Structure 1
Amino acid sequence: MQNQSPIIEVDELLIIAGNPNLRIFDVRTGPVAKSDYQKKHLENAVFVDLNSDLAAIGHPKNGGRHPLPKFENFIKTLGRLGINKDSRVVIYDDKNGANAAARFWWMLRAVGHNNVQVLNGGLQFAENQNYPLSSLDDSYPGTEYISDYEDWQLPQIRMVDVKKATQDSDAVIVDVREAPRYQGITEPIDLVAGHIPNAKNFPFIDNLDENGLFKSREALRNLYSELFEDYDKNKITFHCGSGVTACHSLLALDYAGFDIPNLYVGSWSEWSRNGL
């Protein structure tokens, strides 16, 4: 399934909605995410919690606000959610994929599950397209997920390596946060405002058009081509505030046909707490 687009359109999802192997997941976040899900979500969609299912929350100084869970724990989570190796997984959130949908996509790809897509436009666009909605607390039968691997397969980089990259002219660090956060004008979440030294700002919002949909492959290739032409892909690192929204840009890059570069999961939330 490597040639399958990482993004699925609402009309495409409607066509496959009756597929018994289909698994749809709602990964919106925030203090009222679960209650909002219970009020209204896409039919058959199961709620996934960023903090408990897609992260191992500890002290942000050690791994950031949303560090990855242990590989083996995530594999167990997949089985509990009803995902096996034959499942076709579709993920959405209420932030055009820029919240936890892309993070879940990255994690599934990182365990070798390639049959996974993010819904273009997310919940709002699907609702506008009259996709069937539900208020049931849906679930899928538990199963067992057997991975071919014992560790994450997509490239990651740790804080010590990021520090080296700040002093390496052959490396590039990409910050996908909004420009005011990158510039240190505002910081609504973390304790310190600013950015990692020598990081470039490519805001994730630029992956989307005026309708909140992903830009065309051609447009995204044009957006990122200079970055990828000038640097070895192994020396390109993307990050955000806590390793979640950065995955939106990794998704866009994969959609545009680029190799997926390094993800710094700890991101600004870890870096800024270590006085670097």
Structure 2
Amino acid sequence: MQPLIDLPKLLALDKTTTVIVDVRGGADAHERYQQSHLDGAVFASLDDDLALHPEDAAFGGRHPLPSTKDFADLLTRLGITPDTHVVIYDDKANAMGAARLWWMLKAIGHQKVQVLNGGLKAAIDKGIILSFEEVTPNVVESYPVPAGFAGTASIEEVKLAANDDSHLVIDVRENARYLGQTEPIDLVAGHIPGAINIPYAGNMDSDSKYLVDELLHDKYAQQLGDISPKNVIVHCGSGVTACHTLLALEQAGLTGAKLYVGSWSEWSRRPELPIGKESRY
């Protein structure tokens, strides 16, 4: 199953076996969902459901993963079983909550999961009538608690990979943040030395949809060269928008890259770690 699904195919899915999840971030996320969402979509919060609230971002970053028990409980509350076809979207061109939830589901082995290409904007552009009614999820049996989230890279792995020519660390933040020219969120500007910069925004076309598969493949295959996708680690500021690029890689057929969940928000808070300000190339 390809990671992306277009609106016509979503509308044609069997509603009895499909759960649509609206994932938004920010303090007003639920309020925005209540104002307008796809008909039948249940709500999940990026900040409260898909991440913990850390006491110290130096250990795990600003959006550390919840426990697998809490995640399984969330899926149960949303009416999701291991056999459910899950379709996810957000209101940020899938660069925030949608890609994160897609990655989390794939990381626990859930097979039937896709992201609506273009997110909520794609539906609005097509004139789809949105709903403001809260959706009550179906009551289902408890989702089995997974053993863990596969495909993550620790800070120690990132240290080694960033200085190994057979590996590649990709920073998906905008170039000004990578170069240390600005840092609107974290405490220190710059990047992980040895990481290259491929901003996630470049995955999308002017219509906020992903580039076609061939363009995505050419874009990343050129950067990877002889490096196996399994030796690629992707990060961002806090482990959320990096998932947008992980989805792009899988859509392009380049599977196996890992997520550094702590990302720059963790690395930059470790005073013993080096800070880069110049491009690798």
RMSD: 1.4
2:279 is matched with: none
2:70 is matched with: 73
Cα distance, 1:167 vs structure 2? 2.6
Alignment of 1:91-106 (within 5 A): 91-106=88-103
So what's the TM-score if we normalise by structure 2? 0.92
Do residues 204 (structure 1) and 206 (structure 2) align? no
Partner Cα distance (1:47, 1:210) in 2 = 27
Cα distance, 1:127 vs structure 2? 1.2
1:192-246 Cα deviation digits (max 9, x unpaired): 1111111100110111011111111000000001233321333211000000000
> Match for 1:83: what amino acid?
I
Specify which of 211, 217, 222 is matched with residue 221 of structure 1.
217
CA contact (8 A) 1:170 1:235 kept: yes
1:104-160 Cα deviation digits (max 9, x unpaired): 00000111111111001111121111223110111212323444841223x111112
CA contact (8 A) 2:161 2:167 kept: yes
**Tell me, which stretches of 5 or more residues in structure 1 are unaligned?**
none
So what's the TM-score if we normalise by structure 1? 0.94
Identity of aligned residues (%): 46
2:191 is matched with: 195
Partner Cα distance (1:146, 1:65) in 2 = 26
CA contact (8 A) 2:169 2:234 kept: yes
CA contact (8 A) 2:217 2:252 kept: yes
Partner Cα distance (2:160, 2:214) in 1 = 33
CA contact (8 A) 1:176 1:201 kept: yes
Do residues 253 (structure 1) and 249 (structure 2) align? yes
CA contact (8 A) 2:26 2:47 kept: no
Specify which of 124, 140, 144 is matched with residue 141 of structure 2.
144
Do residues 45 (structure 1) and 41 (structure 2) align? yes
2:29 is matched with: 33
CA contact (8 A) 1:243 1:264 kept: yes
Structure 1 moving runs of 4+ over 3 Å: 145-149
Partner Cα distance (2:137, 2:49) in 1 = 15
Do residues 131 (structure 1) and 131 (structure 2) align? no
Specify which of 60, 65, 70 is matched with residue 63 of structure 1.
60
Do residues 181 (structure 1) and 177 (structure 2) align? yes
- Structure 1 pair 146–45 and aligned structure 2 pair: CA distance change class (3 A): closer
Q: Say which SS state the counterpart of residue 163 (structure 1) adopts.
A: helix
Cα distance, 1:179 vs structure 2? 0.8
Number of residue-to-residue matches in the alignment: 271
Cα distance, 1:173 vs structure 2? 0.8
Partner Cα distance (2:18, 2:230) in 1 = 34
> Match for 2:11: what amino acid?
L
2:163 is matched with: 167
Do residues 268 (structure 1) and 264 (structure 2) align? yes
Do residues 9 (structure 1) and 6 (structure 2) align? yes
> Match for 2:216: what amino acid?
L
Do residues 21 (structure 1) and 17 (structure 2) align? yes
CA contact (8 A) 2:68 2:146 kept: no
Partner Cα distance (2:162, 2:214) in 1 = 30
1:158 is matched with: 154
1:107 is matched with: 104
